[in-house]
Amino acid sequence: MALKKLCLSALLVLGMNNAMADSAMLKPFVLGSKGVGTVAEKTEQAKSALSAAGFSVVGNYSPYADATVLIVTNDELKKNAAASEHGGFGAVQRVAITKVKDEVQVSYTSPVYMANVYRMKGDLSGVAGSLNTALGKVEEFGAAKGMTAAAARKYHYMVGMEYFDEPSVLAEYGSYEDAVKSVDAKLSSNKNGVAKVYRVDVPGKQETLFGVSLKGGDAQKYMDDQFIMKEIDFHDVKSTAHLPYEVLVSGNKVYALYARFRIAINFPDLSMMGQNSFMNIMKTPEAIRNALQQTVQK
């Protein structure tokens, strides 16, 4: 009888440990809600809820039909960005409203996941709670198993591919002020299929984050947001909040996360070969880097 109780206790402890381990696994996105309605209606509802929760909508982007992405920030996000190396990449969160068949999905980037893959000082759990309250939380998604915080902080897709601390250097200017002024003007002029979506200045730090749309059409399809997402965003719950891409001015240099990292953090389960795989967008990393560099170079 005593042995039976001991075994039962051990099983209960194991189950609790497994449950805690599962809850600690981080995934790229959160599904806030899904249901009937229009993208326009759900977008306005999301804006109101986000504003009430203390977020500022700094930009919006419609990469293709029936999809809108809201880019948001708040004081906690900007404060954490200021305290972190290249923290500007994590100065915003992205909220997507996507129509899928007869329902509209409202989803958003997971702040805790982003804080870890971007190696930030704080884990943004407060931001996560605010987004959960504002937009709801049905499930986390974007990876079958997810990653621990430790694994996310040293993530790269596979051997030989880039880490977070290996971004592309797109340009170098004489000063931070010159870099920001020039990059803002160049992105606003919409050349090379690259256009400004938003700008966020990190307070107390020489760092500014720009969000950019990438539209190359058939001629430059490998850097085109719509083409890329058709190839890799194929699950029932959509990862539209992967967009838009970013350019970071830090000091007098202009950076972008290389696509083999920037895409992989949001699609870590994407296979290397086969249908809906990285092989189908093999030319994309260089196509994006070239388009961004040609746009923002001095």
The model's confidence at residue 22, banded by pLDDT at 50, 70 and 90, is very low
Q: According to the model, what pLDDT value does residue 24 have?
A: 83
Percent of the chain with pLDDT over 70: 92
DSSP, residue by residue, 30-62: EEEEEESS-HHHHHHHHHHHHHHTT-EEEEEE-
> Range with the lowest mean pLDDT among 98-107, 224-233, 275-284, 288-297?
275-284
The letter for the amino acid at 152 is: A
DSSP, residue by residue, 267-286: -TT--SSSTTSGGGGTTHHH
Q: According to the model, what pLDDT value does residue 10 have?
A: 41
Q: According to the model, what pLDDT value does residue 276 have?
A: 86
- Structure letter (DSSP) for residue 226: H
> Residue 18: CA atoms inside 13 Å, Cβ hemisphere, count?
6
pLDDT at 295 over 80: yes
Distance CA 183, CA 32 (A): 34
Q: Cα(first)–Cα(last) distance of the chain, in Å?
A: 78
> Range with the lowest mean pLDDT among 12-26, 142-156, 267-281?
12-26
Tokens representing 136 are 């709801």
Taking only the tens place, the pLDDT of each residue in 215-262 is 999 999 999 999 999 999 999 999 999 999 999 999 999 999 999 999
Instruction: With 0.85 as the threshold, say if the pTM is over it.
Output: yes
pLDDT at 142 over 50: yes
Burial 169-198, CB ≥16 within 10 A → b, else e: ebbebeebeebbebbbebbeeeebbbbbbb
The answer to whether 5 and 106 are in contact (CB under 8 A) is: no
Q: According to the model, what pLDDT value does residue 21 have?
A: 40
Q: According to the model, what pLDDT value does residue 85 have?
A: 95
The enclosing H or E element of 69 equals: strand 67-73
Q: According to the model, what pLDDT value does residue 260 have?
A: 97
The model's confidence at residue 298, banded by pLDDT at 50, 70 and 90, is confident
Q: According to the model, what pLDDT value does residue 134 have?
A: 98
Q: According to the model, what pLDDT value does residue 155 have?
A: 96
* pLDDT, averaged across the chain: 93
Taking only the tens place, the pLDDT of each residue in 27-75 is 999 999 999 999 999 999 999 999 999 999 999 999 999 999 999 999 9
Cβ-Cβ contacts under 8 Å for 286 (sequence gap 6 or more): none
The model's confidence at residue 25, banded by pLDDT at 50, 70 and 90, is very high
Distance CA 266, CA 228 (A): 13
Tokens representing 235 are 């699950």
Homologous superfamily (CATH) of 26-296 is: TT1751-like domain (3.30.310.70)
47-54 CB contacts, 8 Å cutoff, 24+ apart = 49/134, 49/135, 50/95, 50/134, 50/135, 52/134, 53/130, 53/131, 53/133, 53/134, 54/130
